[in-house]
Amino acid sequence: MSGGVDSSVAASLLKNHGQQIVGFTMQLWNQRRRLTADGEPQPSRCCSLDDVYDARRVAEEMDFPFYVLNLEEEFERAVVRPFVEDYLSGRTPIPCVSCNTKLKFARLVSVARQIGAERVATGHYARVEYNAESGRYILRKGRDLSKDQSYFLFEMTQRQLSRALFPLGDMTKSEVREAARRLGLYVAEKPESQEICFIPDGDYARFVEDYAKSEMGRRVEMEKPAGEITTVDGDVIGSHAGLHHYTVGQRRGLGIASTDPLYVLKIDVPRNQLVVGKKKELLARSLTASGVNWISIASPAEPVRARARIRYRAPEAMATITPVGSGRVRVEFDEPQQAVTPGQAVVFYDEDAVVGGGWIEQSE
């Protein structure tokens, strides 16, 4: 229970359908570790103490047990530190995926087993079905495609899917809010949270700098001189103040005067260079992904045709996915894709079913 309208309605629906439930909120991050200029915790609409209070109040109103599970150390080890390491390595990470698979559907499944609970339910907009013919659990998109969160769940294992329950999977967001009003939940009009819980102000670069200096002993590295901004031909046209300020496809904030708009094409960490170019140079025909997890099918030996999504809000594109060994695949698109970004996820779909997905390493 995050304290928001989605998880609150999910809990209420289960309770009202006669399920015996126990509410858990994961305490993931101490907001006092990142203060504002006046020494106060930065305001956050995700995973704050107010959210914990909201979740507890819903549990009290619905009369079911509620507990706060302190997972701060695990969250920092499994999510925050890898997030910073990715940025320092020139990748653009998605911490919510790791939080889902390593905490919500790993740690909570373990806790559920310890207390005798059969399933772990969340407020995700997704669906799980069991296919008797294949003997596999299938992850499907939520009915509300504008809120679908299956992209962030692609790492879920068959074991995790077998224990997962998504009560909102067949509902739209407007239906969820209406249900909250009908159930009398005071969080019915609570705004949604879009920011990363440990960076509520959205300043990723400053967070990476501060964390690398204070927690990873990399002060000298973070304070090294600026690097070069170059064209694909190697011409130096400017300088940057740190590669962690940029992501592939970025246009704003380059500080370069040009007759044509310039975009980040590549983040070259070994050379400390930012490579920029025109929009057409962002197009890629293929990519390589690692850490691939297959859901609707067993790990294939032959190429698979599916629709691939390279970012959460990106349109799906038809592609051929070819296994190349060691949990890696090569994805070749029928049509070139723009701004394929290392560190992001590429997720494969067959209609509304998640075939599988992996982490983008590089594009060509």
Q: Which residues are catalytic?
A: 99, 197
Q: Which of 166, 148, 140, 175 is nearest to 10 (CA)?
A: 166
104 vs 98: CA distance, rounded Å: 9
Cα–Cα distance list, 354 to 23, 218, 281, 282 (Å): 28, 39, 30, 27
Q: What is the DSSP annotation of 80-140?
A: IHHHHHHHHTT----HHHHHIIIIITTHHHHHHHHHT---EE---SEEEEEETTTTEEEEE
The pairing of strands 126-131 and 227-230 is unpaired
189 vs 191: CA distance, rounded Å: 6
Q: What is the distance of C-alpha 16 from the center of its chain?
A: 31
Q: Which residue has the tokens 């559920």?
A: 112
